[in-house]
Structure 1
Amino acid sequence: MRRVRFINRLLVKEAFFCMLFSFMVIGLVLLIGLNISFFSPFKNAFKDFSYLDLYYAENLHEENGDFNENIVLVNINRINRKEIAELLGEIQKHGPKVIGLDVIFKDSQDPVWDQFLAEKLKNESLVLTYTIQDKNKVETNAKVFSSKQYAGYSNFNFDTESLVIRNFQGIYKTEDDTLVSFPVAVTNAYLENNWLNDNLNSLKKERPIKFWGNRDRFLVLEQADVIGRQELSFLKDRIVLLGYLGDSKNHDYDIEDKHYTPMNPKFVGKNPPDTFGLVIHANIIQMLLANDYISIVPTWVLILLTIVLTFMALAYFIYLNKRQLASYILRLNLVQLFFIILFIWISLLLFKNDVLLKVTSITATVVFSMGLIGYYKKLANYLYKRYKWEGYFYHD
């Protein structure tokens, strides 16, 4: 009995030190990868990949109806400022509660039409947009739109390395000001009643976007659907978003102001960009309106899971390795594959229930650590011969 307890203690000790060895190797690999530019393309490629893209790409989410009832999209395509002003004027007649204009009129043009547009932009229901580039605002010319109260930045988040839009940041702090995003500004104007103040803290952090759907899940109007039409009463008290949505017949092949999102049907080796910026804004606004967020599993839970699972996996395979089973390598490979598939399934199941569990780091650490047992065994052999260091592999 004492011998069994002694061996078990050695197994626990060996698994613990093997885990430390694995973490040191992984840390060294990551350090090299972060500091050598050769690895940057690989690092960015993995950053743009997520198992959870399967959730949208394979239509695992439940459909929420034919159209979004709260938000109407209006395509400005490539019309000029005069036509945009006419479009705004026609829409304003039908009493939408909020009009979001995802266009920046950066430079002055024809003073007559600029003034004509400026008159339409004075409407209190209007929210404009600007972008933040190198911590500076790029916004509409003051001669066209001078009120800064009804504007928000169009940046979804401030991660310049990732090509896929999965997250958004609702509030951005500078040294001099606190800025709100375009979707937050639109939502605040629609809900009123101090909605922004009540949600200030939760909007400061970057959070995942819960996508409602692509442009086919929203009612999209073209210029011809608005100008001269008598019956647009359905716009009353709605949110109307104007922006670029490409040509009505060939928008699938238009990549201007399009972004990669998890809704891309080809989640490995991406297709061309799949979603217009205006549609992403609409998805964020819908999420904010419904107060329907995705919860993120805290980092400390991920760390704890990684440590516990790595330790358990190493203890099991150190035990098998000592027994020198002929099937050891086969079992190792099968368990590694099963572990990856199981955690992908668990993450998808949780994501379906609005919980984001980032499993990539957990699976990578556990699977990589299993593969290092052979190298650790050689290190343990050296320590035993040189210093009489006892463990499960080598002891008196």
Structure 2
Amino acid sequence: MRKFWLDCVFATAFVFLALIGLLKLTQLQVFNAFDSIGEALSDVELTDYVFSGLRDDPDVDQNIVLVNIGNLSRRDIAQQISIISKYKPRVIGIDGFFDCRTGLYDTVSCPQMKDELGNMMLGEAIRSAGNVVLVTKLLSSDTASENEFDSLRRSDPAFRDGAAAEGFANLETGAAFQDDVKTCRSFNPVMIVSDSSHRAFSVELANVYDSAKTNQFIRRNNYSEVINYRGNVFDIHGTTNYPQMFYTLDVNDVFTENFVSEMIKDKIVIMGFMGGELGDPSWADKFYTPLNKKLAGKANPDMFGAVIHANIVSMILKGDYVEQMPQWQEVVMAILICLLNVALFSIINTHLPLYYDGITKLLQLIQLLAYSALMVLIFHWYTFKLDITITLAAVAVVGDVYEVYMSVIKNLYLKILAKFSLTPKPADVLTPETPEKQ
């Protein structure tokens, strides 16, 4: 038995070496013919099926109201803030910047400077409200390491000095640049910028509304949190399977005060771009999410950034988090399942060598389907993300790699030992069809 399990351990190690080799090979882009397939599937996770198809329709979150700022000028946004403030919201978040990107404050380089009165109105509206949270953006210089930020993009002092707080609006998307395809499943609650700790925009909004629940969320101390999406705003184009989750006011609804006071009072108001008007299919500040109807080869993004922030705030205040398996547990689980597969395949190879290929391929297929279904169901039942990517990869290749190990690696090892007159004899050299001696 000791020799048997030692062989299994060596074979398992060889499986993972083969997986690492395959990973390095694909990074060399030698399979360019399959790039279109890979790109279509690269942003798909099995747990997306839970969001898009298995969950019941959520109730409307009455604590959060979204306001579309469209393409309004600073003067008009100031008027929106003043109108909304009359109805005493608990906090107002503005998902937009008020700065001059060039760093030059002349009217040619920064056209927004032409309306001096509008700028003064916006600064005064933010100051008078007293509960406005503005966004920042984490930036990296050319000298910064990967995933390291050393500066912030912020609104100009005339606006941020009157704000109650600021929070970064960056979301984890894997996009290489702003106009790249952006799929958002997670976000960073807290990030370090030049040795200073900064909270996400959504976390700051939740903190102003309920600091106790927000601190409970922060104490989880996770670098990255999976967003437990519950819904979208009204979607006339049907890009998601979810109904409306948040009350939404369009540009003119605010100016005409087309809402009841109870809709705003003591609520969280998030102002952001959601198209020129609601229903506008604009792609600006829009992301793919797990709620998208098309999980592979998506055609249209389905959620604006302001709505993603609303989903995060809702998750924090309800304490409805997504738990994740730590990476070390994922690796340990993959090794154990691979080891058990190698042991089982070794027994099959010993006692049923003629049926080895058929039996092992069937067992691999059953396991791949079972583990995939289990991952989806556990996420659905317990909101726990069981990451078994490594396990699935190991199970997919274990049968063939085990054959290579037995017919090539082990045979080569035994021949070397026999050549130097060490313990094993040539008669002990194995082939895939030769039962191993116990």
TM-score normalized by the length of structure 1 = 0.88
The alignment of Structure 1 onto Structure 2 pairs a total of residues equal to 384
User: Structure 1 residues 372, 192: CA separation in 2 closer, same or farther (over 3 Å shift)?
Assistant: closer
What are the Cα deviations for residues 339-382 of structure 1, in whole angstroms up to 9, with x where unaligned?
Answer: 11111111111111111110111111122122212211222222
User: Structure 1 residues 69, 250: CA separation in 2 closer, same or farther (over 3 Å shift)?
Assistant: closer
Q: Is the 8 A contact 1:48 1:163 kept in 2?
A: no
Identify the match of residue 69 of structure 1 among 58, 62, 66. 62
For residue 259 of structure 1, report the CA deviation from its aligned partner. Answer: 0.8
User: Structure 1 residues 312, 203: CA separation in 2 closer, same or farther (over 3 Å shift)?
Assistant: closer
The match for 1:145 is: 160
Q: What does 1:1-396 correspond to in 2, within 5 Å? A: 8-34=1-27, 36=28, 48-57=43-52, 59-65=53-59, 67-107=60-100, 108-109=112-113, 110-122=115-127, 123-134=129-140, 135=149, 136-147=151-162, 149-157=164-172, 159-160=174-175, 163-192=182-211, 197=215, 199-215=217-233, 216-229=244-257, 231-234=259-262, 235-248=264-277, 250-251=279-280, 253-352=281-380, 353-378=382-407, 379-388=409-418, 389=424, 393-395=435-437
- Structure 1 portions without partners, runs of 5+: 1-7
- For 2:116, give the aligned amino acid: P
Q: Is the 8 A contact 1:259 1:274 kept in 2?
A: yes
- For 2:211, give the aligned amino acid: E
Partner SS, residue 210 of structure 1: coil
Partner SS, residue 342 of structure 2: helix
User: Structure 1 residues 321, 342: CA separation in 2 closer, same or farther (over 3 Å shift)?
Assistant: same
Partner SS, residue 46 of structure 2: coil
TM-score normalized by the length of structure 2 = 0.80
For residue 39 of structure 1, report the CA deviation from its aligned partner. Answer: 7.5
75-84 or 21-30: bigger deviation: 21-30
For residue 149 of structure 1, report the CA deviation from its aligned partner. Answer: 4.8
The match for 2:237 is: none
Q: Which runs of 4+ in 1 moved over 6 A?
A: 39-46
Aligned equivalents of 1:296, 1:129: Cα separation in 2: 28
User: Structure 1 residues 298, 38: CA separation in 2 closer, same or farther (over 3 Å shift)?
Assistant: same
Percent of pairs with identical residues: 26
- Structure 2 portions without partners, runs of 5+: 101-111, 141-148, 234-243, 419-423
Aligned equivalents of 1:188, 1:114: Cα separation in 2: 28
Aligned equivalents of 2:288, 2:273: Cα separation in 1: 16
The match for 1:3 is: none
User: Structure 1 residues 229, 46: CA separation in 2 closer, same or farther (over 3 Å shift)?
Assistant: closer
Q: Is the 8 A contact 2:92 2:270 kept in 1?
A: yes
